[in-house]
Structures are given as C-alpha cells and as structure tokens.
Structure 1
Amino acid sequence: MSPEERRSAILSMLDRATSVQVTELAAAFGVSRVTARGDLDALARDGKLRRTHGGAVSLSKTLTVSVQDRRVNVNVEAKRAIARLAAPFVEDGDSVLVDSGTTALEFVRAISDRSGVTVVTDDFTIADYVDRSAPALDVIMLGGSLRKGHRYTAGPLACRTLELLHPDKAFVTPTSYVPGRGLMTNNQDMAELKRAFLACADRAFVLMDHTKVRAPGLLWFGTLASAEAVIVDADPDGLVASDAAELGCRIIY
C-alpha cells in the first residue's frame, strides 16, 4: 500500500470504530509503529482526525466521545484482558446492566457475539457501538440528565428507571478502589447510580484495571461485599485479593 492508500483506509476504519490504535494499524498494514504514527500525524495535520494517546479518533466523534476519547487508548490491553475474563459470565438471553466508561465499552465488545442479550446502560458510546457494530444485542438506555462531556446519564431519573428493571447481571466500573474502604467515584450523581447498579441485579461484578487501586476518588459507593466477583488484570500488592477474601467476593485475574 502507498501512504495515500493506507491513510484512506485509516479514515475508513475510523468511520466504523470509535478509535484506532498505532499497534492495530501497524499489524493491519504490515508497517512499523513509526510509520503508523506518521500516517496519523499526517492525517491530523490535514484536519482529518484527532490524535490521542497511542492512536486517534474521528473528528466526527470528537464532540460526542469527549472524556472517553482521551482514555480509549489508555491501558487498553488491560481493559481488553478484563473484558475477556468477564465475558463468559454472560449467557445467551441474559439482560446485563453495564456501567459507563472505556472498560465497560471493551466488555460490551467482548460479548457482541451473544444472542438475545439486552444491554441496559447509561452510556451513549456503548449504545452507539451496539447500534453500529453489534446487531445481535439489544439496548435499553437509562433516562436522566446528561453529564456534558462524559456521554452518560445520571441523576434521580436514571435511578428511578432502575427501580423499574431487574437485570440478571450488573457490571460496575469504579473510578478508583481504596483498600479497606471500597469502591469510589468522583461525581455525586454517579455515586448514587453506581450504588443502585450494585443493588438491582441478581449478580454483580466489578471490573477495574490495576491502576484504579489507590487512584483518586472522592465519593464512596460500595464495597466488594456487594459483588460476586471483582475482575482485574493484575493485583500486584494483593490488596484487592485481601479485601475480597474478607468480604466474601471472588477475585479473577
């Protein structure tokens, strides 16, 4: 492929996906990462995409993905590993409540081949992915107030919607985990909604990569006692495993 053909193909990929990664492009086109980065830089200079850490997003999605587009290529392999571990808990015909964020998006991608699964979510990026790329899945969107720049709904109306639903399984993604304290986030409305997520399903699972342990988080919304399992990519200091054992929660990694 010539550089022009590669760059045209990259733009076609961005029409179909939320983002592209340098490693993905290098493998797809059989070029070095340096060449792939050069292609993205050239397209960015031409005003055809926006560069992110490790990749790029389409300009047509920049206004709507916002915070997620800055995180979609951060710790992506860890998030995909977590998604692969969590996916077997979803069976054909399940209803699954899925939290917002990039780890949750990778999880939905991992279950996109399931049949008869209904995804309940507050996340517009996840709903958009299902609409575009996962026709076998159905989506129920939670109501509520849109948190601008974050692509999700929250607030009393979102919590009220959950009172009308009883999903089989919930998959919750904290902003941080404080050992000995529990699951944390940084927004008051989201703390209330995530607390409701843990309570409304038959089975609850926490998904988080190892960078969430001891990360900044102001508002507590629950502990691992509310979850059947916590699924992580790694637990270097054993802090999550220690809490999980004490609270009767499985740890999977």
Structure 2
Amino acid sequence: MSATASRTFAEERRAAIMDMLERTSSVQVADIAETFDVSSVTARADLDALASAGKLRRTHGGAVSLHKRLTVSVQDQRINVNVEAKQAIARSAIGLVRDGDTVFVDSGTTALEFVRMLDVRSGVTVITADITIADFIDESLPGVTVIMLGGELRQGHRYLFGPLTMAALGALHADLAVICPGAFVADRGFMTDFPQMAEIKTAAMGVASRSVALMDASKLNARGTYCFAPLDAVDHIVVDQDEKGALSDALSALPEGTRRPQLIIADQ
C-alpha cells in the first residue's frame, strides 16, 4: 500500500471514529480495533492524532467527546495536563529499572506515562493498586506481569485502598517503588491529599529496596495536606524542572550526614 493510500485510509477511519463519538459520547481502543480491523497500536495512534487536533479528549482506555457531557474519573480529567513534561520524566525514570525488576507503581497520570515506557525492559513485574495502570498493562504490555493489590475502590479515582491493600503490601517486596506525590512542600516533604493514599505510598517505599519520586514542576511548593515521606526518604527525584530551585535548596539544607537523594532533571 502506498503512503498516500495509507494516509487516505487513516483519514477515513478517523472521520468514522468521530462519527462514533457523536453517537455514543465515548469510544474504547478495543472497540476501534475490532470495528476497523486494526491493531490496538493503530487505534491508539488514531485517538492520539485526533486529540492533538483538538477533536476529542483521551482517557485511559479510549476517548470522550468534547461536545457531550460524560462523567469520567479524576485521572482521566488530568491525562492531557502537562503531558510532555510527564513523558520526559517517565523517560528519565525508566533508566532506574533493570530487566527482571519488581516495581511498585503508584497511582496517577505520571505513573501511567512511566508504565508506557516499560516495553523497553524484559521480565518486569508491576505491583499496583491502580486499575488504569493494570488495564493498560493487560491491554498493551503482554510481557509485563501485574500483581494487583486488593482493597476498597475509591470511586472516581480508579485505585484501591484500605486494610486489604496494606496487608497485601506487607507480604511483598519490590526492587523499586515509583511514587507520585501530589506536592512537595519545603521543610515538610512529599505530600498527598488523601490519608489512605499517604499510607499506601509510605508502605510501598518501606517494602522497596529503592524509591523514586516523579513530579512535574507544578507539584513543587504546591498545596498538600498529608506528609507521607520526608525529602531524604527517597533515593531519586525526577522532575522536568526545578522551579525556583525548590528542590536544590531543600537538598542543600539537609543536615550533614543525611542521605541526599539524586536529583534528575528530565530532558524534554
């Protein structure tokens, strides 16, 4: 098939996808793949192209119409925010993962971008309480094993929490914990706004040999209610930029003899 013909088919398929959205308000990657007899990779590429053109909004497993009201998860609402920064952070963080590692992966859109990069590693096992991340791996990363933590579903957020989650974490060990704080507050540490999520993050770091915090610059000195770890509790911090030197200053202020996390500025 010539390049011109291929482009024509893609344009026709994407127009048909927009017709589907007009009728149903949302579409899933699996539905597109089945309807048009294309791979999941092609279906996602179609949705990404349409999202870049401002014609729809991507969600964790598909897309939603920009013109019809639809209730989506909090994570889906944030999936197109600071995308380039999150992707750069994920690319830098994947260098901390070795073939065969067991990795705890936190909840959130930066964590999802990190998981998208795992196809460059082999024999990886992911521990997570996040349903979106487990769905993505099941759909797109057949070489990655998932250990799904049990627990109560936090409605609208697509992750599990509570005593069952904590008990499961207590029985496991990870080589690396990938943590996504809601904020970093100077003189306090890494923060989140949900107390049970703070428990999960702290516990995950406790069962891992190494830990890394992934944050885009909007999280630096942002608001946070619950501190789940001090600055020196992690081994690495990956950010897209150190806004106003917030992290550099905090690292310099650590007492002599304190472990100093490695600060990695992601290259965009």
TM-score normalized by the length of structure 1: 0.81
Kindly state the Cα deviation for residue 115 of structure 1 after the two structures are TM-superposed. Answer: 1.0
The structure number with the bigger radius of gyration is 2
Give the unaligned 5+ runs of structure 1: 28-32, 42-47
| Superposition deviation, residue 22 in structure 1 | 10
Secondary structure at the residue paired with 1:77? helix
Q: Secondary structure at the match of 2:132?
A: helix
Secondary structure of the corresponding residue to residue 7 of structure 1: helix
Question: Match of 2:81, SS?
Answer: coil
Instruction: Quote the offset at 1:236 in angstroms.
Output: 2.3
Query: Relative to 1, partners in 2 of residues 1:6 and 1:111: Cα closer, same or farther, differing over 3 Å?
Result: same
- Structure 2 distance, partners of 1:216, 1:229, is 22
Q: How many residues matched?
A: 230
Cα distance, 1:13 vs. partner?
7.9
Q: Deviations over 1:186-237 (max 9, x none)?
A: 1111111111122110001101110011222111111121111110010121
Q: Match of 2:146? A: 139
* Distance change in 2, residues 1:14/1:137 (3 Å): same
1:249 maps to amino acid:
P
Aligned partner of 1:50: which letter?
Answer: S
Q: CA deviation at 1:26?
A: 6.5
Matches within 5 A, 1:5-84: 5-8=13-16, 14-15=29-30, 16=40, 24-25=48-49, 36-37=53-54, 39-40=55-56, 49-51=64-66, 66-84=73-91
The answer as to 2:201 corresponding to 1:201 is: no
**SS at 1:244's partner residue?**
helix
3-state DSSP of counterpart to 1:217: coil
Distance 2:215 2:15 in 1: 34
User: Retained in 1: the 8 A contact 2:14–2:46?
Assistant: no
In structure 2, the CA distance between the partners of 1:229 and 1:40, relative to structure 1 (3 Å rule), is: closer
Correspondence 1:249 to 2:261: yes
Q: Select between 3-12 and 127-136 the one with higher mean Cα deviation.
A: 3-12
Q: Which runs of 5+ in 2 are unaligned?
A: 1-7, 21-26, 31-39, 58-62
Which amino acid in the other structure matches residue 66 of structure 2?
A: R
Aligned with 2:172 (options 165, 175, 180): 165
Residue from 82, 88, 92 that aligns with 2:95: 88
CA distance in 2, matches of 1:193, 1:98: 11
Which secondary structure state, in structure 2, belongs to the residue aligned with residue 153 of structure 1?
strand
Q: CA deviation at 1:8?
A: 2.7
- Displacement of 1:9 after TM fit? 5.4
Alpha-carbon offset, residue 4 of structure 1: 4.7
**Rounded Cα–Cα distance in structure 1 between residues aligned with 2:188 and 2:170:** 27
Percent of paired sites with the same residue: 44
**Which whole-Å CA distance do the structure 1 matches of 2:47 and 2:149 have between them?**
35
From the superposition, tell whether residues 13 and 181 of structure 1 become closer, same or farther in structure 2 (CA, over 3 Å): same
What residue number does 1:238 align with? Answer: 245
Answer yes or no: is the 8 Å Cα contact 2:220–2:243 preserved in 1. no
4+ runs deviating over 4 angstroms: 9-13, 19-24
Do 1:21 and 1:73's aligned partners in 2 also have CA atoms closer than 8 Å? no
Partner of 2:190: 183
Aligned CA-pair RMSD: 2.9
